[in-house]
Structure 1
Amino acid sequence: MARNQKDFYYHQAQKEGYRSRASYKLKQINDRMNIIKRGDTIVDLGAAPGGWLQVAKELSGGRILGVDLQFIKEIDGVTTIKGDITSDETIEKILEFAGKGGVDIVLCDAAPNLSGNWALDHARGIMLNDAAFECAKKILKPKGTFVVKVFQGDLFKDFFDRVSAEFVYVKSYSPQASRSTSAEIYVIAKRFLTAPVRKNHLCAVEITGMGESGDGIAYLDDFVIFVKDAVLGEIVKVKIEDVKPNFAFAKVLEKLDKLPENQYLTPKYVPKTDGSFANFESESSEQPKKQKILRVRDRSLDIDNYVPPADEKDVEFD
């Protein structure tokens, strides 16, 4: 079955002029998740040989950049950079290409060189995913999209959670073009957050207005927070319950006599962009652990049992 599947997509790519069978993975991800819009500026990390670049150009028609340590043969209408995505020099080149606003979408279908040691290869894969993730946080526009290939294993859930902290909507999906024997799955993250708070953060605010639904309106710097069961003029300690790109929802924990000098009772959130990664040294020496490999075909998999807020329809992946 796997061989027949491989033959189909290989021959289809040859027939339609794509550089790799992986081109159909991006097509199917886009059909299912609606990630690419006309005119989007897109950066593909680890882009060689260029199959995803071809599809990105076809779907967007906008400005497309491919980055890889290897040379990428020229593609009409696509710019390429030979460089390391963890280096400041490469990041500067990407930002120069993108312009002041950043990019709309960051893609990464890269995989590490395999050694045959499962624990080591899985850890190397997650390190590569982290490198792409850190790069994405430096170059994405607010509300931008990040798509990355991840190999399932004991480190997958932690990586998924780290991505979930930075985007409004995060799901994972295995396209039909992935081989049935493969543990690969794609994490699709939409609406990159630049908010100064995250879920469960604590802060002190003054209710300076009231919304139409009866929620209090407060501000942290210029960031809007809607506070349930608050009264105009109150100063309250709140807990953040949900975060969107331009506002957050919170609940009152207690009333305060005055605003503290620093309203961020939990330190102001600043995305980690120093390029540091988790230490996987100990993982590489362990024997492969037994794990349940998730098999998903033609449907989305929500690792965190994501349920949109009751007042908001989840249309991001329609």
Structure 2
Amino acid sequence: MAKNKFSKDWLHQHINDPYVKMAQQKGYRARAAFKLLEIIETEKLLRRGDIVVDLGSAPGSWSQVARERLVGPGGVIDGRIFALDILPMEPIAGVEFIQGDFREDAVLKQLENLLEGRAVDLVISDMAPNLSGVESADAARIQHVCDLALEFSRAHLKPDGALIVKAFHGSGFSQIVESFKKRFKRVVERKPKASRSNSSETFLVGRTLKA
């Protein structure tokens, strides 16, 4: 019974969510688009000519935002967007999608071939692991996902590049922030307006790699 009530409450909240309505109006695949929009506007990130990698990209709303930012006069994309996910993703014009697990060498090699030796300006990751409700296990899973994005960034970002990842407040969060501070000169936490108030999600932005 409680589960049914939770499902109904969630559905009611979802249907009446202004960001869900705005996402539908603007053609975004998910309301998460507005989270990225607010972060890149606040942090003044993502400009034409940039190379962007979207880790865990499906359903594609973050890639859609990146594409909008890179479109120049005449609708031509100035820059490159590479999106990766284990799940399939509907094509987005101008976004180069690789279906696979970027932890696997073959998938990473595919991306590196597309990059052709160029370093990346911005890595974005809205990835979240499947959570079990067991705090210690979930903390380890969340940290693992953030560490993967950090390692990828360390290997592929430009020295003045940036990384945006989704994390969650709670057990293990301070360790994730610490690992960011070891890698980046500037680290900030962002809770965009489109983040639901009852959600513990917080986005971390790391800028300028430490030598």
TM interval, shorter chain, is 0.7 to 0.9
Matched, 1:80 2:84: no
1:21 Cα deviation after fit: 0.3
Distance 1:60 1:192, change over 3 A: farther
1:131 match: 148
2:29 match: 19
1:44 match: 54
Counterpart-to-counterpart distance in 1, 2:108 and 2:154: 11
1:167 match: 184
Counterpart-to-counterpart distance in 2, 1:53 and 1:47: 7
CA contact (8 A) 1:5 1:179 kept: no
Counterpart-to-counterpart distance in 2, 1:117 and 1:165: 28
Instruction: Report Cα offsets for 1:89-133 as digits up to 9, x if no partner.
Output: 222222222221321110000111122223322221111111121
More helix by share: 2
CA contact (8 A) 1:95 1:102 kept: no
CA contact (8 A) 1:103 1:139 kept: yes
Matched, 1:105 2:114: no
2:45 match: 35
Partner AA of 1:170 in structure 2: V
Counterpart-to-counterpart distance in 2, 1:65 and 1:4: 30
Q: 1:92 aligns with which of 109, 113, 130?
A: 109
CA contact (8 A) 1:68 1:84 kept: yes
CA contact (8 A) 1:85 1:132 kept: no
1:17 Cα deviation after fit: 0.3
2:76 match: none
Map 1:49-60 → 2, pairs under 5 A: 49-60=59-70
CA contact (8 A) 1:6 1:179 kept: no
Bigger radius of gyration, 1 or 2?
Answer: 1
CA contact (8 A) 2:23 2:30 kept: yes
Partner AA of 1:73 in structure 2: E
Counterpart-to-counterpart distance in 2, 1:155 and 1:127: 10
Counterpart-to-counterpart distance in 1, 2:209 and 2:57: 22
1:65 Cα deviation after fit: 0.8
1:134 Cα deviation after fit: 1.2
SS at 1:145's partner residue?
Answer: strand
Higher mean C-alpha displacement, 149-158 vs 92-101: 92-101
2:74 match: none
Counterpart-to-counterpart distance in 1, 2:112 and 2:186: 24
SS at 1:12's partner residue?
Answer: helix
1:148 Cα deviation after fit: 0.3
1:151 Cα deviation after fit: 0.7
Give the percent of matched residue pairs that are identical in Structure 1 and Structure 2: 38
Tell me, which stretches of 5 or more residues in structure 2 are unaligned? 1-9, 72-78
Counterpart-to-counterpart distance in 1, 2:16 and 2:134: 24
1:51 Cα deviation after fit: 0.3
CA RMSD between the two structures: 1.6
1:60 Cα deviation after fit: 2.5
CA contact (8 A) 1:86 1:135 kept: no
